[in-house]
Chains A and B, each alone.
Chain A
């Protein structure tokens, strides 16, 4: 009847002819499923005894969350350490944001030259490829373990993240508004700070706060893994030094509460942006 209709091998009418993207997605999903199953057999399980590990984990989790208490430190110290971690995250975020703002002007294609934009983008891709903890440890060789290495190391990733977010927000700004100001003889600086920044302000704030939320988690990690101090270091001590599950639980709960508060604020800002 219709020339466009196709039949499959059973003679029934085909309802769809998957295109390239759909076929690729289908095989990717099948491929990942196979890889996952095979991957479980390839992993290194040296020293793993599930019959012991699982009950022990459950027991640990029970101690952590059912009877948390701070045994080796005080509440005031714990809260002070939270403040230290928050401060580390804040410093890395705000200093990173200032650097990112200027780099993003150079990255946004509507405000910059292609060669400059591509150079910054390539640079940032490489910076982002190095895990934050490695940045911190590399800077620790030069500056010693501590807050300086932690903040500078964390700035690198924050900049990589924020430049991308900022420049994408800048690229959304209506070309006409930029042109109108350019036509009236405004300087480059005027365009940036009279049009671009005010237009995108709520996005910038929202993205920056989102990064602060991430940086809090990163700062906890740096405290535990790279000697940056703060609540992360306390967590590391109580779990790897004192093996005190009740304290690990208390500290984890403190971190959880702070993280959830930050997430709620970030969500609020994102909705209003």
Chain B
């Protein structure tokens, strides 16, 4: 008897509290939306109206003329260059990321100062946005693939270190403990427990990073005047919207193909 009574009384209290909390949350969020809209001069009506406008615009540019299709060759060439940069930047970054992840993981660190150093370097590298890297590097490296490669490299490196550290910490704790208990050396635990256990998951992260980087490469190209991003920018500024649509479609197809391939690979290795 007593128990049911106390529970009921408590329940009512909780429900009232919950409703109040919900109301408060909604008020705060609406307030923040209004504040943010004011700061950025964002107009919600314009925003909603722009969606049908953009869709009708896209539809009207889907019929390509002969002269547009003639440019397909150069689109594909620059698309290939973009894909190439994305993959090479990711694979190169992953080699460095494995070393830093091993130094930064609480499971495999060599010593504390190195661990913090590795984590700080990785954090700086991923928290400086790719655009900043691109803008900084283009000044000295000029408008060529090296700039895009380096910008993507720094962004991917920091992200992969974090992902790899999580993979190592989650997957290898038990087997590392077992190998340590048999009297194995540090390098035994790395090569016999950590790497065999984490490799598939790490490769899956690399695939994810390649997918992301192909999209980022477009952005970097736009800023540094390289690859498919440059071509997009060129025709965009010439108001040649048929070409803009063609390039967009080419990028979409490339990303979808890469995603499909990585999904097949993931199914096989995980």
In-complex A–B contact (CB below 8 Å): yes
Q: Which positions in A face B, CB cutoff 8 Å?
A: 20-21, 24-25, 28-29, 32-33, 35-36, 39-40, 42-49, 52-54, 56-57, 60-61, 64, 83-84, 86-88, 90-91, 94-95, 125-126, 128-134, 137-139, 141-143, 146-149, 151-152, 217, 220-221, 224-225, 229-230, 232, 235-236, 239-240, 243, 245, 248, 251-252, 255-256, 259-260, 263
Q: Which positions in B face A, CB cutoff 8 Å?
A: 29, 32-33, 35-37, 39-43, 46-47, 49-51, 53-54, 57-58, 81, 84-85, 87-88, 91-92, 123-124, 127-132, 135-137, 139-146, 149, 199-200, 203, 206, 215-216, 218-219, 222-223, 226, 229, 232, 236, 241, 244, 248, 251-252, 255-256, 259, 265, 268-270
> B37, B131, B203: which contacts A29 (Cβ < 8 A)?
B203
> B131, B140, B248: which contacts A232 (Cβ < 8 A)?
B131
Q: Are A90 and B36 in contact (CB under 8 A)?
A: yes
CB distance from B73 to the nearest CB of A (A): 16
Nearest chain B residue, comparing its CB with the CB of A262:
B127
Nearest chain B residue, comparing its CB with the CB of A80:
B39
Nearest chain B residue, comparing its CB with the CB of A134:
B248
Known: A126-B256, A232-B131. A143 touches B144 (CB 8 A): no
> What residues of chain A lie closer than 8 Å to B142, measured between beta carbons?
47-49, 53
Q: Are A146 and B41 in contact (CB under 8 A)?
A: yes
CB distance from B26 to the nearest CB of A (A): 11
Q: Are B40 and A36 in contact (CB under 8 A)?
A: no
CB distance from A254 to the nearest CB of B (A): 11
> A131, A148, A239: which contacts B139 (Cβ < 8 A)?
A239
Q: Are B215 and A263 in contact (CB under 8 A)?
A: no
> What residues of chain B lie closer than 8 Å to A39, measured between beta carbons?
84, 87-88
Nearest chain A residue, comparing its CB with the CB of B38:
A87
Q: Are B132 and A134 in contact (CB under 8 A)?
A: no
> B58, B145, B226: which contacts A138 (Cβ < 8 A)?
B58
> What residues of chain A lie closer than 8 Å to B248, measured between beta carbons?
130, 134, 138
The 6 A-B pairs at the shortest CB distance, nearest first, are namely A87-B36, A142-B53, A56-B140, A143-B50, A259-B127, A129-B255
Nearest chain A residue, comparing its CB with the CB of B268:
A24
Q: Are A240 and B32 in contact (CB under 8 A)?
A: no
**Cα–Cα, bound, A151→B47 (Å):** 8
**Cα–Cα, bound, A263→B126 (Å):** 10
